[in-house]
Amino acid sequence: MWFRVIVALVLTVGFLVGIRLMQSPRTARRGNALGAASMALAIVFTLGWQSALGNPVIWLLLGIGALLGYILADRVRMVQMPQMVGLFNGLGGLASALVAGAAVGSGSVENAFFFLTAAVALGLGTVTFSGSVVAAMKLHGVISGRAVVRRTDNLVLSLLGVVVLASVAVSTLGSARGFAVSMPFNIVAALVIGYVGALRIGGADMPVVISFLNSLSGIAAAVCGLAVSDMLLAGVGALVGVAGMILTQIMCGAINRSLAGLFRGSVPARPAMQPEEVVPAAETATDGAADELGLPAQVVVDDLPELLRKAERVIIVPGYGMAVAQAQHAVGELVSVLEAKGKTVRIAIHPVAGRMPGHMNVLLAEAGLDYEKFVDMDEINPEFSNTDVVVVVGACDVVNPAARSASGTPIYGMPVLKVEEARTVIVLNLDERPGYSGVANPLYDAPHVAHIWGDAKVTVPQVTEMAR
């Protein structure tokens, strides 16, 4: 017994250290490898604990699963990583639900606590599965990425929540028969809750639902571990659940929304304000200082080669459009050319710029960019006013100054990158249409902003040539 406890603690510490290493891009690979190794050892340890190491069917299924996982991970492109993560979250939830159901079917334990935890794991796992499938389909474009909010949703979700709670309560009566009667209601209600809940979130809010479902999959695993008396599963699941919930709260802070409000489909409602005008840095300085900057009254594309030549400090702002265009390597080439000319280049990362936390970091790291160039929003915002040129690549909502004035809209109150404070802004977006929020971006009309509409894989190299 003590040997099992010690092994479980050692493996849990392995997961903790792995998570700690993944906090830094430089050690993330080691952290990921340590986490994977700890998981592999945990599987072998659990099979040995259950005296199942000699079962050929289990090893066959493990082999099939490992092969499928390898093929998926090898073929998925970096731009598809968010939907891959969403799918893995769903499979984790489904695994917890299946284990809980199988444990009840085995009839090895029959008491109120066992049936309670099994019912909760079944419900949480099913919600995670259906919600994650919808999220993955949204991210992959199989269904619309927009939020779908109906007036009756809150009532439906409330009624379904009551059904789940009632089925869990029936399970606590402590009999396999009671669990069997309530289980279909639990499963159906949880499936619909996950489906409707994920439909209600879309666009720029997708990083929140991805991190939340990741947390939910961990919580389902932890409760499942309690049901089957596997402390290793409970401990590791709790780690995933807590880490995912912390990340979810960070994501909510990045968009100035509460998690409950997000799932209710509500948007911030504040007193109306007058839309603010986007003023270039040159106009906020004295006349003498403005002359020294040498900025034209209205920046046009023909001015960009000269402005790039004179620029000393450049900030690049990537967005989801860069990911869709797969333009990360083109951005990497632009950074190389600018640095070869002696420019100081930094990359501003908004927490919800992609479709999962860290999406932009992963894409740009694939292009060979140094992690030290990536700067978070809070740190980079004070630097825009001292920046000569900002290049926005496929980003809209995260640089939209209307977030500070357009009350009642999805982005109102959301912290954004203050690119409008730079002396010159170059926008490389597909077109001038609003982002996922549907809120028009007044940045595009500012006199110190030049835009080149089109696919970033084409427009970024154009700017690179201007900078040579």
Report, as residue numbers or ranges, the catalytic residues. 397
Q: Would you give the end-to-end CA distance of the chain in angstroms?
A: 68
Measure the CA–CA gap between 50 and 411, rounded to whole angstroms: 52
401 CB-near residues (< 8 Å, 6+ apart):
276, 278, 416, 418, 420, 441, 442, 443
Measure the CA–CA gap between 148 and 255, rounded to whole angstroms: 19
Measure the CA–CA gap between 221 and 212, rounded to whole angstroms: 14
Contact 246, 122 (CB under 8 A): no
Contact 262, 208 (CB under 8 A): yes
Cα dihedral 257, 259, 265, 268 in deg (nearest 10): -20
215 phi and psi, to 5 degrees? -65, -40
Q: Which two tokens stand for residue 127?
A: 């919600």
H or E stretch at 392: strand 389-393
Q: How many DSSP H helices and E strands does the chain contain? A: 18, 6
Q: In 3D, which of 356, 20, 354, 39 has the Cα closest to residue 212?
A: 356
Q: Which residues pair with 393 in a beta bridge?
A: 318, 428
Measure the CA–CA gap between 330 and 259, rounded to whole angstroms: 36
Q: Which amino acid is at 455?
A: D
Measure the CA–CA gap between 141 and 24, rounded to whole angstroms: 31
